[in-house]
Amino acid sequence: MKQENQNDVDYDEDDRPLVPRAGIIYGDIIYWGTIAGTFLVMIGSVVTFTTTNNFIDPAYLLSAVVDGKTVEDIWKGAEGVNQLPSGHWYLDQISTGNGLTMAGIAIGVFSVTPAIFASAFALYKDGQKLFGSIAVVAGLITIYAMMP
Amino acid sequence: MTSLLKRIPELTLLIVGTIVIYIAMGLLSEVNDTNILSADGAWALVVGSFLMSLVIAIVAVLGGVGGGVLYTPVMLGFTSIDSLLVRSTGLVVAMFSGLVSSGPFMRKGLADIRIVFYCAIPIVIGAMLGAQVAIGMAETMGEEGDAIVRLLLGLILVFIAVMFIMGGSKNEYPKPKHVDALSKKLHLQSSYHEESLNKTIHYKAVRALPGAILFLLVGFTGGFFGLGGGWAVVPVLNLVMAVPLKVSAASSGVLLAMGNAAAIWPYIMKGALIAVFAAPWMIGQVIGGILGAHILSKINAGFVRNILIVLLLLTSIKLISRGIEGYFGIDIPII
């Protein structure tokens, strides 16, 4: 039964709204994607610190960061690299500590994209075509953002 | 705490995993000493970053802002780390607590998925533009660009602090008198169950167009400064679009995570995010984000908010002075 209280707030005493399926799907994909990415970052961090299997020496990287070197100087000064990366460089270095760590961060960030599309699909199925389409546009923009 | 760990087994795994990896990294380290940092110093930097990130995530959740608002200004004001690196890592700090809180907020029905998607378009476009401009500015303007960034960020912080001080005007259940044509067309209306009242609250979002324009600006500022934008999303949703405060707060984290996800790709692909430096900040945000959301009800958020205001004002003084020093080449003796 719909009523208004003293503060002029619309409320129902007995009608608990259903949580939208699109929202649950979106939230769950991101939640588990972020946690999966975090575990990969943990593994990458251990590999970076406890092995010599690295794309760039972590001692050099951390020292350069603390020393206030610019991004360009850091990459150009890195032994065996000497140039700025482009695109999804970590995919080529996935077996190294640096590559694994960056891939973990990227997975966490990327989880947003499938979550948006899965949520858009659920919105379409629930008859919410306008918001399904808006979600698809948002998803396409995030894909565009990750294009090299 | 024990019941929390039992209820969320993945949180237990994350905490145990973090402790194990940091012990392993300390004991089995293959990292060499350099002129700037010893092997122990490198380990301490990583563990210290994780602990700071954990504290920032909890304080940010309790204070109702994104972590980037604390991380980016403090690092730009008080360290010599390159401003582009600080801002890219700032986006990691700003987004990951929001990402991990998306699941619980959506499951509880607190975040409004339709409002999130509607506002996502301008915020994502703004964030991408902001990131591109930041990278372009770093490539072309060098130290002068850094000085301008510090100066502008200092002024923004003063504005945010003033906004917090005047923050009493927030409206828990706004009741708009007039619904504009666009909002009517979009059917931006929904309802959620308010646990504290044990009632279902119905609401209608309004001013869809001004809201979208403001979100474009919020996205740009977040992407450019690596601030995120939690400080601005809640006021825009609540005060401009008349969305209930609780729904605004929950939708804010989800929305920011989406906007920052778009903003961070240009930084990753240009090498402006250094994995070994950003990793502990990410892990701290994920664990702190889950913890902060669950201890929110047990701590006096007002006290945390006051600390936040003092911190923001102090940091703004340092940022403005460093900005003036860098841009005009004059020396301002401030610690």
For residue A13, pLDDT beyond 60: no
Q: Would the CB atoms of A58 and B100 count as touching at under 8 Å? A: no
Contacts of B80 in chain A (CB under 8 A): 66-68
Question: Between A and B, how many residue pairs show a Cβ–Cβ distance under 8 A?
Answer: 273
For residue B147, pLDDT beyond 60: yes
Q: Would the CB atoms of B274 and A66 count as touching at under 8 Å? A: no
Ramachandran area for residue B330 (φ above 0: left; ψ -120 to 50: alpha; else beta): beta
What pLDDT is recorded for position B226?
74
What pLDDT digit, counting tens, does each position of B120-141 carry? 899 989 988 888 888 887 778 7
> To the nearest 10°, the Cα dihedral for A128, B125, B272, B221?
-120
Q: Percent of chain B scored above 90 by pLDDT?
A: 24
What pLDDT digit, counting tens, does each position of A73-88 carry? 999 998 888 888 888 9
Of A27, A104, A141, the CB nearest to B105: A27
Q: Mean pLDDT over residues B291-306, rounded?
A: 64
Of A9, A38, A144, the CB nearest to B173: A9
Q: State the Cα–Cα distance between residues B219 and B137, nearest whole angstrom.
A: 17
Q: Would the CB atoms of B175 and A98 count as touching at under 8 Å? A: no
Q: State the Cα–Cα distance between residues B281 and B279, nearest whole angstrom.
A: 5
> How far is A76 from chain B, CA to nearest CA, in Å?
11
What pLDDT is recorded for position B222?
82
Length of chain B: 335
Task: Give the number of other Cβ atoms within 10 Å of residue B300's Cβ.
Answer: 9
Of A24, A27, A50, the CB nearest to B24: A50
Q: State the Cα–Cα distance between residues B228 and B89, nearest whole angstrom.
A: 11
Q: Would the CB atoms of A44 and B114 count as touching at under 8 Å? A: no
Buried b (16+ CB within 10 A) or exposed e, B221-239: bbbbbbbbbbbbbbbbbbb
Q: What are phi and psi of A81, to 5 degrees?
A: -110, -65
Lowest mean pLDDT: which of A6-20, B52-66, B142-156?
A: A6-20
Q: Would the CB atoms of B36 and A66 count as touching at under 8 Å? A: yes
Q: State the Cα–Cα distance between residues A57 and B42, nearest whole angstrom.
A: 12
User: Of A63-67, B148-152, B215-219, B321-325, which one has max mean pLDDT?
Assistant: A63-67
Contacts of A75 in chain B (CB under 8 A): 271
What pLDDT digit, counting tens, does each position of B197-221 carry? 778 888 889 999 999 999 999 888 8
Residue B43 token pair: 């380990």
Are B53 and B285 contacting, i.e. CB atoms less than 8 angstroms apart? yes
For residue B295, pLDDT beyond 90: no
Chain A residue at shortest CA distance from B131: A145
Q: Would the CB atoms of A70 and B84 count as touching at under 8 Å? A: yes
Contacts of B33 in chain A (CB under 8 A): 59
The band of B240, judged by pLDDT with boundaries at 50, 70 and 90, is confident
Q: Mean pLDDT over residues B262-283, rounded?
A: 92
The band of B51, judged by pLDDT with boundaries at 50, 70 and 90, is very high
Residue B69 token pair: 């608002």
Q: Would the CB atoms of A128 and B114 count as touching at under 8 Å? A: yes
What's the angle, vertex CA B121, arms to CA B116 and CA B123, rounded to 5? Answer: 80
The residue behind tokens 């700032």 is B90
Residue B145 token pair: 């660009």
Residue B42 token pair: 């490198």
Of A34, A50, A85, the CB nearest to B99: A34
Q: Would the CB atoms of B193 and A17 count as touching at under 8 Å? A: yes
Q: Percent of chain B scored above 70 by pLDDT?
A: 91
Query: Cα–chain-centroid distance for residue B149?
Result: 18
Q: State the Cα–Cα distance between residues B234 and B238, nearest whole angstrom.
A: 6
For residue A103, pLDDT beyond 60: yes
- DSSP one-letter string for A101-147: HHHHHHHHHHTHHHHHHHHHHHHHHTT-HHHHHHHHHHHHHHHHHT-
Q: State the Cα–Cα distance between residues A146 and A87, nearest whole angstrom.
A: 8
> How far is B131 from chain A, CA to nearest CA, in Å?
10
Are B126 and B219 contacting, i.e. CB atoms less than 8 angstroms apart? yes
What pLDDT is recorded for position B244?
86
Pairing of strands A2-4, A10-12: antiparallel
**Cα Rg of chain A, angstroms:** 22
Contacts of A97 in chain B (CB under 8 A): 276
Q: Which of B100, B135, B97, B157 is nearest to B264 (CA)?
A: B135
Chain A residue at shortest CA distance from B279: A41
Q: Which of A60, A29, A45, A35 is nearest to A102 (CA)?
A: A45
The band of A7, judged by pLDDT with boundaries at 50, 70 and 90, is very low
Chain A residue at shortest CA distance from B125: A141
Contacts of A108 in chain B (CB under 8 A): 96, 99, 282, 286
Taken in order A82, A84, A86, A92, the sign of the CA dihedral is: positive
> How far is A60 from chain B, CA to nearest CA, in Å?
7
Q: Which of A123, A49, A14, A81 is nearest to B275 (CA)?
A: A49
Q: Which of B202, B282, B272, B203 is nearest to A12 (CA)?
A: B202
Q: Would the CB atoms of B265 and A113 count as touching at under 8 Å? A: no
For residue B168, pLDDT beyond 90: no
For residue A130, pLDDT beyond 80: yes
Side by side, the strands of the sheet bearing B199-204 are A2-4, A10-12, B199-204, B189-194
For residue A4, pLDDT beyond 60: no
What pLDDT is recorded for position A6?
44
The band of B225, judged by pLDDT with boundaries at 50, 70 and 90, is confident
What pLDDT is recorded for position B301?
54
The band of B110, judged by pLDDT with boundaries at 50, 70 and 90, is confident
What pLDDT is recorded for position B302?
61
Residue B13 token pair: 């795994």
Q: State the Cα–Cα distance between residues B50 and B267, nearest whole angstrom.
A: 21
Contacts of A101 in chain B (CB under 8 A): 275-276, 279
For residue B332, pLDDT beyond 80: no
What pLDDT is recorded for position A32?
93
Q: State the Cα–Cα distance between residues B191 and B203, nearest whole angstrom.
A: 6
What pLDDT is recorded for position B304?
63
> How far is A126 from chain B, CA to nearest CA, in Å?
12
How do the domains of chain B map onto residue ranges? 2-26+42-328
For residue B28, pLDDT beyond 90: yes
Of B85, B124, B269, the CB nearest to A141: B124
Q: Mean pLDDT over residues B138-162, rounded?
A: 79
**Burial tier of B10 (Cβ tally within 10 Å: 0-12, 13-18, 19+):** middle
> How far is A80 from chain B, CA to nearest CA, in Å?
16
Kind and range of the H or E run holding A5:
none
Q: Would the CB atoms of B202 and A141 count as touching at under 8 Å? A: no
Contacts of A2 in chain B (CB under 8 A): 202
- By three-state DSSP, how is residue B334 classified? coil
